[in-house]
Amino acid sequence: MLRVPGYLVAFLVPAAVWAAGLADISNRDAINGLKEALTRGSHAAVARLGVENGF
């Protein structure tokens, strides 16, 4: 399996979004992306902190 360094992904993803252009992203797409990011972040926080001696 090919492993891609995180810093490489950090540069490629914004470049792909920039290449697509902000005009191509609708408000609904932006809202859905923010909701998904918040959902994933809250699940990750609960998984890390919701254990014995977590926080």
Q: Where along the chain do its domains lie? A: 23-55
Per-residue burial over 10-38, b = 16 or more CB atoms within 10 Å of its CB, e = otherwise:
eeeeeeeeeeeeeeeeeeeeeeeeeeeee
Q: Taking the model in full, what pTM does it have?
A: 0.52
Q: What are 1-55's pLDDT values in tens digits?
A: 456 566 555 656 666 666 666 677 889 999 999 999 999 999 998 888 888 876 6
